[in-house]
Amino acid sequence: MRSPRKSTISLISAALLSLQAAPLFAQLPEHLRDFPTATRGASGESVAPFFNGWIRNDDDSVTLIFGFANQNRDVVTDIPIGPNNRLEPARYDGVQPTHFPVYQRRGFVGIQERGAFAVVLPAEEAETEVTWTLTSGGQTWTVPGRTTSSAYEMSNGERAQGTLKPAIRFSLDGAESTSVQGIYAAPMTTTVGEPVTLSAYVQDRGNREAYPENKIMLYQVGTEWLLHQGPEGAVPEFSNPVITGRDRAREAGESASGDWTEVTTQATFSEPGDYVIRLRVDNFLAADSKFDNVCCWSNAYVPVTVAP
């Protein structure tokens, strides 16, 4: 049988704990008081912007990398560029996504999409703070991108076993992307229901010869075509949206030749308007390349205007 003295002590302890917790709970905004234990809804939730990190470039410019998390379990969200989806200062506005899919990834990132876009600050503006604000699901979130924290600093250099970000070109003698910031293709046009071919050349990169533990010098890359910007609710259909490096390794062999590989998809649009398609190229087959670590992939973007 429990003693009266122990019962009294337990009641006093519980009362003291409640007195300590209550003021802290009361300090939280009302809409956040149930957040830690709440289950994400299938719909009606917000999209949160994320600052993934920054890179000091060779010319002393700075690259700020951003991603997002759609907190809905089921519903894809579109937020047009404007008051509810803006970058500040305004001169950097317009490169961010307007289309926010739902992700259920394994590992640390979970529902996050990392490295969806980047902003490059010239050397003379390297200390500028760039904020990304998103309003949806009754919530407004603003995240700052800045160089004030060394914990967020990253590098374009070699990874632990020599891996570098893969390369993307839209023509063999054209500009090259080896970064999240990426390059833009010449604008394309099509009409509703008429497939258009999107293509690029891709290549793995690295200095893996310097690391004796590497058995493979060049890996097959993975590719994914994604809607970056477009009219609300209008998602194009891609003929082969995702081909992983593992898929390519099964078909072409585990090791890549080092030549440029052409990758294509057929995109069909059901609604007229202006779109931007993002191509992400990764070398996640390498042991030192993982999505969780914001490495190693590069972006490239294709603007498409769709007529009725």
Please return the burial class of 83, using the count of CB atoms within 10 Å of its CB with bins 0-12, 13-18 and 19+: exposed
Give the three-class secondary structure for 37: helix
Per-residue confidence (pLDDT) for residue 30, from 0 to 100: 63
State residue 109's pLDDT score.
86
In this predicted model, what pLDDT tens digit does every residue of 177-222 receive, in sequence order? 999 999 999 999 999 999 999 999 999 999 999 999 999 999 999 9
pLDDT band at 38 (very low <50, low <70, confident <90, very high): low
Query: Position 287: which residue type?
Result: A
Q: Edge-to-edge, what's the strand order for the sheet holding 112-121? A: 112-121, 62-70, 47-56, 153-154
pLDDT of 75 strictly over 80: yes
Sign of the CA dihedral with 154 first, then 155, 161, and 163 last: positive
At 131-190, the pLDDT tens digits run 999 999 999 999 999 999 899 999 989 999 999 999 999 999 999 999 999 999 999 999
Alpha helices (H) in the chain, listed in sequence order: 4-27, 245-252
Q: State the DSSP code for 159.
A: -
pLDDT reading at 72 higher than 60: yes
Q: 142: which residues sit within 8 A by CB, 6+ positions away?
A: 49, 131, 132, 133
pLDDT tens for 242-295 read: 999 999 999 988 899 999 999 999 999 999 999 999 999 999 999 999 998 889
pLDDT at 37 over 90: no
Phi and psi at residue 229, to the nearest 5°: -140, 150
Query: Which range, 6-10, 31-35, 82-86, 210-214, is most confident?
Result: 82-86
Instruction: Select from 2.60.40.1580, 2.60.40.10, 3.30.1330.10, 2.60.120.10 the CATH code of 156-307.
Output: 2.60.40.10
111: which 2 tokens?
A: 């529902």
